Amino acid sequence: MEKDVRALARKMSKNSRTHIFIRIINKIKLLSTSFWAIPLVLIIRKLKPYCLVRFGIIDSTRIGHFNAQSVMYWTSLQEQPINTVDLFWFSEKVSNRQWERMARRKLKIHWSVYYLDHWNKKISGGQDHILKPTTRDIQGKLKQMNVIPFEFLPEEVTQAKDWLRAQGWKDHEKFVCLLVRDSSYLQISPLLKNENWDYHSYRDTDISDYVPAVEWLAGQGIWVLRMGSVMAKPIPTNHSRVIDYAFHLSKNELLDIWLFANCDLCISTGSGLDSITEFYNKPILFVNFIPLSHIWSWCDSLNIPKHLFWKTTGKALTWREHLKHNYARTDDYEKAGIIVKDLSSDEILDATKECWQRVEDNWVDSLEDIQRQKKFWEILKEWPDYTKRHDWIHPKCRIGATWLKSNKYDFLI
């Protein structure tokens, strides 16, 4: 036992020395860039009246931030003055090489921009040269442009379709991407595993609860691909039209992007890659999505949250109470005395049926449905933080009509 402890201590000491050595090398490397980067930054500032050069980071470590920031930067480029030049750099690790290639086709990205950005921030007076990243298209600029931001090359399209055909899919058959969040990716991914992500556990759900909805879709002749990079367990179904892509041996980073960009519907709990579907103007069904105050109001989506109950009374929180207690950490719900409960498999099935009917343009809202939707948005707009997260509202962004109708409590009082 004592020998094991000494061995562990030696290993930790060695790792610590290695870490210190790497930090020293990186600092020396950074200082060495000052000889060319600082003069260039000063020249760029002098040229500001004639040409504004700005620097921005794209967080490439997490795919949701990676694709959203890239697209939002591209969107802003479409309306900037001709005498403005935006330069970008990726964070050290890249979560998806396919998206990296697509971003490089549209944006000016180079490793040297990191050093220009660094020294510009170190020297006072450089605020006008700093780009602030965003992931939310709250003004709906991309939607109103009605354009595809990053296109696939013909050979990429061919490769993706060939893979689908090999699974039994035929051209023009419809398919749905299913993305159900669990904590496995954040715990196992080499890019992120060294951080503690337990505070996000309130967002996790069980893939088994989605089987009735998946099999209903498959029964309609629709292919369903269960997506994900690293997942806790396979989806428990043997239906021939359900592909557990998350566990497929031939999955790859091109398919990770292409499938979400080309699906007829994405069903998601809100987990990164679903933003690809948004940017390619495809509808999204968000289930078990909280905090609901973060609803993607600028995109074509149907939204159904998890149930929230007061621990002391067992009563469900109303929409106004959801807005007041819009926590993004598991322990905050616990401290507030709130129980987070997943939607039942029947509720997920009902939401899927409603959403697919909307996709097929077969759904007809009743007068009560229309009134409930109106009330939902009225309450949201009364929220003090509304303008921080919302502005333009997509005409097809809705709270689930079936869910509102079937609740045993009045969500909208």
pLDDT tens-digit series, residues 343-402: 999 999 999 999 999 999 999 999 999 999 999 999 999 999 999 999 999 999 999 999
**pLDDT tens-digit profile, the chain (413 residues):** 444 444 434 444 555 667 676 778 878 888 899 999 999 999 999 999 999 999 999 999 999 999 999 999 999 999 999 999 999 999 989 999 999 999 999 999 999 999 999 999 999 999 999 999 999 999 999 999 989 999 999 999 999 999 999 999 999 999 999 999 986 645 555 554 556 545 557 789 999 999 999 999 999 999 999 999 889 999 999 999 999 999 999 999 999 999 999 999 999 999 889 999 999 999 999 999 999 999 999 999 999 999 999 999 999 999 999 999 999 999 999 999 999 999 999 999 999 999 999 999 999 999 999 999 999 999 999 999 999 999 999 999 999 999 999 988 899 98
Structure tokens at 339: 């129980």
Q: What is the pLDDT of residue 376?
A: 98
Q: How many CB atoms lie within 10 A of CB 184?
A: 16
Question: Rounded to whole angstroms, how far apart are CA atoms 83 and 396?
Answer: 37
Q: What is the pLDDT of residue 22?
A: 76
Question: Rounded to whole angstroms, how far apart are CA atoms 26 and 13?
Answer: 20
Structure tokens at 3: 């020998």
How far, rounded to the nearest angstrom, does the alpha carbon of residue 250 sit from its chain's CA centroid?
23
Question: Rounded to whole angstroms, how far apart are CA atoms 274 and 63?
Answer: 10
Question: Rounded to whole angstroms, how far apart are CA atoms 281 and 261?
Answer: 8
User: In one letter, which amino acid is 232?
Assistant: A
Contact of 298 with 138, CB cutoff 8 Å:
yes
> pTM for the complete prediction?
0.89
Question: Rounded to whole angstroms, how far apart are CA atoms 304 and 285?
Answer: 8
For residues 216-240, one letter each, b for 16 or more C-beta atoms within 10 angstroms of the residue's C-beta and e for the rest, the string is bbbeeebbbbbbbbebbeebebeee
Q: How many CB atoms lie within 10 A of CB 14?
A: 10
The structure tokens 């292919």 sit at 223
| N-to-C CA span, the chain | 63
- Domains of the chain with CATH codes: 17-135 (no CATH), 155-406 (3.40.50.2000)
Question: Rounded to whole angstroms, how far apart are CA atoms 23 and 153?
Answer: 40
